[in-house]
């Protein structure tokens, strides 16, 4: 049987593409992010319960130490910091001990995924004037409202770039192999 270099080269190309594809599949759990799933209060909402208010941010993945959310009042001062919930490590929570003043508030959150990737965002909300309600009331204990992260939420880290580059590399290798196969033998 004669040695066929083109056949070996084609198998090598396919094997390399398959190896990169397997690497991509294995790396998928490592590129997961702790994305904001919901918040209470929801972004853009008006809250009537300012006394004993609880803020809860829910994320899609487990949060790593260092994840937090600063609660910033209308005067620009930070009044508290939500930290990882002791009972659910996919949530940041904070409860105010005193009544919060009416006006426009902002929650500035930072989530750190277990793979180290960092996401940041803001959630604006308003506290209506003159409507302090105790935390035991139905308004204050309502279930969290769904709130998607703002569109300008940047993703930092190489967790997104590596799979994209690897996928492009697989496409180039496969295209090169297919083009080599179509050339007529000399």
Distance (Å, whole) CA 145 – CA 159: 29
Chain mean position to CA 117: 9
Tell me: pLDDT of 115 over 70.
yes
CA dihedral 136, 142, 148, 153 (to 10 degrees): 0
Confirm if 67 and 92 have CB atoms less than 8 A apart.
Answer: yes
* 92/152: higher pLDDT: 92
Alpha helix (H) residue ranges in the chain: 5-27, 161-182
Domain boundaries, the chain: 5-30+161-182, 33-156
Give the pLDDT score at 174.
75
Give the pLDDT score at 140.
36
**Percentage above 90 pLDDT, the chain:** 40
Beta bridge partners of 39: 57
pTM to 2 decimals? 0.57
Closest by alpha carbon to 48, among 182, 121, 142, 116? 142
With bands split at pLDDT 50, 70 and 90, how would you rate the model's confidence at 13? low
Q: What is the CATH class of 33-156?
A: mainly beta
Distance (Å, whole) CA 112 – CA 68: 9
Residue with tokens 């994320």: 59
Give the pLDDT score at 118.
92
* 170/102: higher pLDDT: 102
């Amino acid at each position: 049987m004669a040695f066929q270099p083109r056949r070996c080269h084609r198998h090598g190309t396919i094997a390399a593409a398959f190896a990169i594809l397997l690497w991509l599949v294995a790396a998928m759990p490592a590129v997961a992010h702790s994305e904001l799933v919901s918040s209470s209060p929801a972004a853009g909402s008006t809250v009537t319960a300012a006394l004993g208010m609880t803020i809860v941010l829910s994320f899609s993945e487990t949060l790593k130490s260092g994840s937090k959310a600063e609660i910033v009042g209308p005067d620009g001062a930070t009044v508290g910091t939500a930290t990882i919930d002791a009972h659910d490590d996919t949530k940041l929570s904070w409860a105010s001990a005193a009544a919060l003043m009416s006006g426009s508030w902002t929650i500035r959150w930072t989530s750190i995924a277990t793979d180290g990737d960092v996401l940041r965002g803001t959630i604006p909300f308003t506290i209506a004037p003159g409507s302090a309600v105790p935390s035991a009331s139905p308004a204050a204990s309502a279930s969290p409202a769904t709130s998607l992260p703002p569109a300008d939420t940047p993703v930092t880290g190489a967790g997104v770039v590596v799979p994209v580059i690897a996928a492009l590399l697989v496409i180039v290798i496969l295209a090169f192999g297919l083009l080599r196969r179509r050339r007529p033998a000399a």
